[in-house]
Amino acid sequence: MPLQAERIDAVTSQMGRARILILGDIMLDEYLFGAVHRISPEAPVPVVEITSSKLLLGGAANVAANIKALGDEPILLGTVGEDEASVKLARLLKEKGISSHFVVHDLSRQTTIKTRIIAHSQQVVRADREDRHPLDSAAENQVLKRFMSVVDEINAVIISDYGKGVVSPNVLTQVINQCLERGIFIGVDPKETNFHNYKRVSVITPNHHEAGFAYGLRIQSEKDLIEVGHGLINRLEAESILITRGPDGMSLFRKGDEPTHIPTFARRVFDVTGAGDTVIATFTAAACGGADYAEAAIMANAAAGITVREVGTATVTVEDLKQDLELNLRNGNLARTTLRA
């Protein structure tokens, strides 16, 4: 059944009371904005005249920012280098009211920076500065030690895996096992390389390309989607899998249930950067607020539809989310959520 007005009120009123640990790859997102008036005489590429710039939290740090905006307390756990970018990142975290107490400084790595050059509301190019090698044993031990110091005080864990080396098979195994022992909700925003290590989690949120790759079947039809969704549930022994499908919305698969298909609520799309971060953050926050998984998926879909209207990573407040859900309810969009065999 689609999300009803009374359930929107009930869940949103309970959100903002959880402590949620975010484990993963912490990044700094740099945006350079400008205009193109000519082609370079040196190569057939546009010359972008930069007029402004901004720095934003990226990766796991953006998930933490989304959790903070929704009113819950984020505990950010990951690694950064000992460099200028880590100082800028710490400043951004402080401005957002997010503690960097659990962030590990790893001298063997640089802080990941993704630089995007935007001209006329279009991304021209992205340049990445990063290390992707696995954490050494000392850094990995620090991550696990900090996790164990707080695991008894949290309501949920989000694993934000961008494949930069923080989320190793050993870290995954230990974190998941500790959460399962305590009945702690586990949400995963996955990377293909680790996909089959995300065992017995509460929810995993791949896009349709990642899901098809992990299962070994390209999703080209609804029949393929159903096979991949149910197949991954069985392989991973997961409680649920939420496959994001771009303009086709999302599909939620749960053990023993028919899939729930949710149409996209986005009315305009400027930038999908960070939309996956918003999805996993909102799903987890909603679940902590008492939503069932179908309700959490609908709320995550709505939140993503809000953030893609902005250029760069963006966040959503509970009030933003509630207003958008109520608007979609009035417009009949929530009634298009379907259960199908």
Task: Let me know if residue 77 belongs to a domain.
Answer: yes
CA distance 251 to 232: 13
In this structure, are strands 19-24 and 203-204 parallel, antiparallel, or unpaired? unpaired
Read off the pLDDT of each residue in 56-82 and give the average, rounded to a whole number: 97
pLDDT given for residue 313 in this prediction = 66
Read off the pLDDT of each residue in 214-233 and give the average, rounded to a whole number: 96
* 131, pLDDT greater than 60: yes
CA distance 103 to 90: 9
Task: Let me know if residue 37 belongs to a domain.
Answer: no
Angle at 187 between CA 12 and CA 296, to 5 degrees: 30
pLDDT given for residue 272 in this prediction = 65
Read off the pLDDT of each residue in 251-256 and give the average, rounded to a whole number: 92
Task: Let me know if residue 51 belongs to a domain.
Answer: no
pLDDT given for residue 270 in this prediction = 56
CA distance 164 to 245: 24
* 186, pLDDT greater than 90: yes
3-state secondary structure of 35: strand
Average pLDDT, the chain: 93
Helices (H), 193-237: 208-215, 222-236
The more confident residue out of 112 and 327 is: 112
pLDDT (tens digit per residue) in 76-110: 999 999 999 999 999 999 999 999 999 999 999 99
Task: Let me know if residue 235 belongs to a domain.
Answer: yes
Read off the pLDDT of each residue in 53-70 and give the average, rounded to a whole number: 96
CATH number for the domain including 331?
3.40.1190.20
Task: Let me know if residue 121 belongs to a domain.
Answer: no
| Cβ–Cβ < 8 Å for 274, 312 | yes
Is 277 in the active site?
A: yes
pLDDT category of residue 267 using cuts at 50, 70 and 90: low
* 218, pLDDT greater than 90: yes
Q: Which amino acid is at 330?
A: R
CA distance 215 to 243: 12
| Cβ–Cβ < 8 Å for 269, 308 | yes
Task: Let me know if residue 188 belongs to a domain.
Answer: yes
* 265, pLDDT greater than 80: no
pLDDT given for residue 341 in this prediction = 42
Beta-bridge partners for 116: 31, 126
pLDDT category of residue 57 using cuts at 50, 70 and 90: very high
* 2, pLDDT greater than 80: no
Task: Let me know if residue 119 belongs to a domain.
Answer: no
| pTM value surpassing 0.85 | yes
Written as six digits, the tokens of 133 are 């090698």
pLDDT category of residue 165 using cuts at 50, 70 and 90: very high
Q: What percent of the chain has pLDDT over 70?
A: 95
| Cβ–Cβ < 8 Å for 109, 79 | yes
| Cβ–Cβ < 8 Å for 254, 240 | yes
State the total domains in the chain: 1
* 221, pLDDT greater than 80: yes
pLDDT (tens digit per residue) in 268-303: 655 567 789 999 999 999 999 999 999 999 999 999
pLDDT given for residue 331 in this prediction = 83
> Which domain covers residue 281, as residue numbers?
5-29+57-113+131-339
The more confident residue out of 57 and 341 is: 57
Which of 29, 189, 271, 277 is catalytic? The answer is 277
Task: Let me know if residue 261 belongs to a domain.
Answer: yes
pLDDT category of residue 339 using cuts at 50, 70 and 90: low
pLDDT given for residue 271 in this prediction = 57
